[in-house]
């Protein structure tokens, strides 16, 4: 039985939902490492699922949907993904790369022939296959590659995902997006309805066992709206997880803001929390105070989680202003009248400090 897993990466927001014709994994939204290990197969031990996914060929389709040096990161991320896949054991013959290829030797590139995906990083461009570049990076070619339809290919290497029923497919699409649409360096754009129809076709063909789709773009959540049938338990669970995650983020943001106002006043509070010290000065005078105030907040307001790490400067500024643990506890208790439950509880996740 085949399955598709969809990972949506928003700018500033990470939400994960999954559609599956197979298993039902509670907490899939937090299990990206296991999905990755499942894709790469058995590594020195058993796969952590009842299904053995170690057989079959691993395929990957990598797409940078933009061009221009100002969009450097899209092609850099695709090149980096290629290097990771090769390190993970995939063969070039099973990796299809779409990139405009106007970055490495762009006149603005201070390191000609080199692409990096982090400051002072290593070259990730070397060895990347140029299957579809320039004007061959099109929606039609992407769909033809995914469906394994060589006759529909125009230009490029002609490489397609010629997968079988036991194979596993990874798709990574990095680009700009809008509601219901993804960019391409050539017109037309990629529209949600068309992508969903192609995915349904691929599913109906029975030519994969699992498919993982990483989509990094603004408004990426709108692309897969309607992929799962109404009433699907997986869709209901994904929506529930999304609402819980967003509610938690709003709770953390509003709680920190309110604590600032309770401690310093309505006007002064935001200024204190958002203050940035001059370059060369440490974030906080007393690191012990920072840890104490973080733990105090989580005692009354629940876990900060990874999302809440962005408020560390605010907690540092509260320390630098001379606020004591008792004052922080009092303000936190007033700001958080109810203790969060479930996965966002500090009792469930543990304390961050």
Q: Which residue among 218, 301, 319, 336 is the active-site one?
A: 218
Q: Which residue among 168, 176, 248, 251 is the active-site one?
A: 176
* Catalytic residue flag (residue 122): no
| DSSP-derived secondary structure for 108-154 | T-SSTT---SSTTPPP--TT---SB-GGG--HHHHHHHHHT-GGG--
CA–CA separation, 141 and 294 (whole Å): 51
CA–CA separation, 79 and 60 (whole Å): 12
In contact, 353 and 291? CB cutoff 8 Å: yes
CA–CA separation, 85 and 58 (whole Å): 10
Helix then strand then coil, % of the chain, to nearest 5: 45, 15, 45
Q: Which residues of 265-286 are buried (b: 16+ CB within 10 A; e: fewer)?
A: eeeebeebbeeeeeeeeeebee
CA–CA separation, 184 and 63 (whole Å): 9
Q: Which residues contact 177 (CB under 8 A, 6 or more apart)?
A: 183, 217, 218, 219, 220, 223
Among residues 161, 163, 174, which one has the least CA distance to residue 61? 161
In contact, 98 and 138? CB cutoff 8 Å: no
| DSSP-derived secondary structure for 157-168 | --------TT-E
Among residues 171, 191, 187, which one has the least CA distance to residue 179? 191
Q: Where are the beta strands (DSSP E) in the chain?
A: 3-10, 13-19, 58-64, 95-98, 168-174, 177-178, 181-182, 190-191, 210-216
Among residues 181, 168, 79, 170, which one has the least CA distance to residue 139? 181
* Catalytic residue flag (residue 176): yes
Among residues 29, 47, 48, which one has the least CA distance to residue 238? 29
Count of alpha carbons within 13 angstroms of residue 13, beta-carbon side: 16
Active site residues: 176, 218
């Amino acid at each position: 039985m085949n399955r598709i897993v969809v990972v949506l990466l928003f700018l500033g927001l990470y939400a994960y939902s999954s559609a599956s014709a197979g298993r039902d994994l509670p907490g899939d939204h937090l299990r990206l490492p296991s999905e990755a290990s499942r894709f790469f197969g058995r590594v020195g031990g058993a796969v952590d699922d009842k299904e053995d996914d170690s057989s079959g060929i691993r395929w990957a389709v990598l797409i940078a949907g933009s061009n221009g040096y100002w969009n450097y990161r899209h092609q850099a991320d695709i090149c980096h993904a290629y290097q990771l896949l090769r390190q993970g054991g995939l063969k070039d013959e099973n990796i299809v790369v779409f990139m405009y290829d106007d970055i490495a030797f762009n006149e603005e590139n201070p390191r000609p022939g080199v692409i990096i995906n982090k400051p002072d990083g290593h070259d990730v461009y070397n060895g990347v296959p140029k299957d579809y570049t320039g004007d061959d990076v099109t929606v039609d070619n992407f769909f033809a590659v995914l469906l394994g339809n060589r006759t529909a290919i125009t230009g490029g290497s002609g490489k397609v995902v010629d997968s079988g029923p036991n194979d596993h497919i990874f798709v990574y699409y990095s680009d700009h997006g809008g509601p219901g649409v993804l960019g391409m360096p050539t017109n037309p754009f990629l529209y949600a309805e068309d992508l969903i129809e192609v995915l349904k076709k691929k599913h109906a063909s029975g030519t994969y066992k699992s498919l993982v789709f990483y989509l990094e773009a603004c408004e990426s959540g709108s692309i897969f709206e309607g992929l799962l049938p109404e009433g699907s338990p997986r869709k209901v669970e994904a929506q529930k997880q999304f609402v819980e995650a967003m509610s938690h983020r709003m709770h953390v943001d509003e709680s920190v803001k309110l604590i600032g106002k309770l401690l310093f006043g309505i006007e002064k509070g935001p200024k204190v929390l958002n203050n940035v010290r001059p370059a060369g000065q440490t974030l906080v005078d007393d690191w012990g105070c920072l840890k104490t105030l973080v733990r105090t907040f989580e005692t009354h307001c629940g876990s900060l989680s990874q999302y809440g790490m962005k408020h560390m400067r605010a907690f540092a500024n509260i320390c630098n202003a001379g606020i004591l643990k008792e004052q922080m506890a009092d303000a936190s208790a007033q700001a958080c009248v109810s203790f969060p439950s479930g996965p966002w509880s500090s009792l469930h996740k543990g304390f961050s400090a």
